[in-house]
Amino acid sequence: MAQSRAERLIRDLVGHAGVDIGGSRPWDIEVHDPRFYGRVLRDGTLGLGESYMDGWWDVDHLDDLVCRLRKVRIDEKVKFNWRTLSLVAAERLFNRQRKSMASVVGERHYDLGNDLFRAMLDRRMVYSCAVWDGADTLDQAQERKLELTCRKLGLESGMTMLDIGCGWGSLAKYAAETYGVSVVGINNSREQIALGGEFCAGLPVELRYQDYRDVEGLFDRVVSIGMFEHVGVKNYRTYMQVVGRCLRKDGLFLLHTIGGNEPSRHLDSWTEKYIFPRGVLPSVSQIALVSEGRFVMEDWHNLSVNYEKTLLAWYDNFRRNWPGIRAAYGDRFYRMWTFFLLSCAGSFRARSLQLWQIVFSKCGVPGGYRPLRWTQDAI
């Protein structure tokens, strides 16, 4: 059968990444439905992800495929579709992360079901990058991340800490139990707050369903892990103003965020639609611009090499525990979540995504700040 124009173009595009369609290597694509070609050519990343969810194509190692495609920046060659253009227009015209819309990501992602996240995450339910140096299991790696974070913050007994985007309270619980710190944690997921409250019962930890713009009070430390990705470019300055307002003059602020290699105003169209609505990854220059004149940057640590392994561990847990939750989510969700986890792993392997921990002070640490890394002598 003669190849269509769309098929020829897609074969040529993926060929630049060393990928064959119908090949025998783990990253080669097997197409089950010829409509795949036109859909990807028309809809870019949205078409690629949706056609995978619909079973139109398969690949043995999805993470390897995405890594190869990311390295040649193939998304830029098919990104100008109607949905991407509409995202660009909406981001420029409107504040898509304004307070009245801030609960959307909580409702559509973090409230999907605690059973899903229990099946996927470590025993503490830490939904962010682990630190694998010296760790053999996901539980150990996530505990090392929590410990490293606490040490970077210089936590001491009796301190108060604000946790913006606290998840299920994993860091708050660890800091309270290990360092004797009193913690206020906030986020926009009712499911996380409810279960986190159970985890932290009996500890000096208060978890609130609250928007970060409404927080009041003074704290010795402020930390934010995996939440800045939901703030939005139009709100970066407001976010930093809130942190500055809540942080004592001699306090420290640790920002833990996924980042991109260049400025952006939206996620790719598939991730925006199915995983993180209204999400956006900051760049180095965007973070620097909104923090200058307000904080002193004491340390900038790139931990992104740890995220691929974390995502693969989550995928292994999800796949292994899927039979216990399948009835609640369905097979199309399985393919969607598989595409999410493995495509993210491939993107981190390609170094097109980064993971930063940045430590700020208000006026500079007297005598200088001592940076910590994940090496054995630091932990």
**CA-to-CA distance for 190 and 360, rounded, in angstroms?**
29
Residues ≥6 apart with Cβ < 8 Å to 261:
283, 351, 352, 354
Residues ≥6 apart with Cβ < 8 Å to 121:
127, 138, 314, 317
Specify whether 344 is catalytic: yes
From the list 113, 29, 82, the residue with the least C-alpha distance to 337 is 113
Mode of pairing for the β-strands spanning 205-209 and 219-225: unpaired
Within 10 angstroms of residue 285's Cβ, the number of other Cβ atoms is: 10
- How many CA within 13 A on the CB side of residue 342? 24
Query: Which of 129, 166, 200, 344 does the annotation list as catalytic?
Result: 344
Structure-token match 């060659």, residue found:
77
**CA-to-CA distance for 172 and 178, rounded, in angstroms?**
10
**CA-to-CA distance for 342 and 361, rounded, in angstroms?**
36
Q: What residues act catalytically?
A: 344
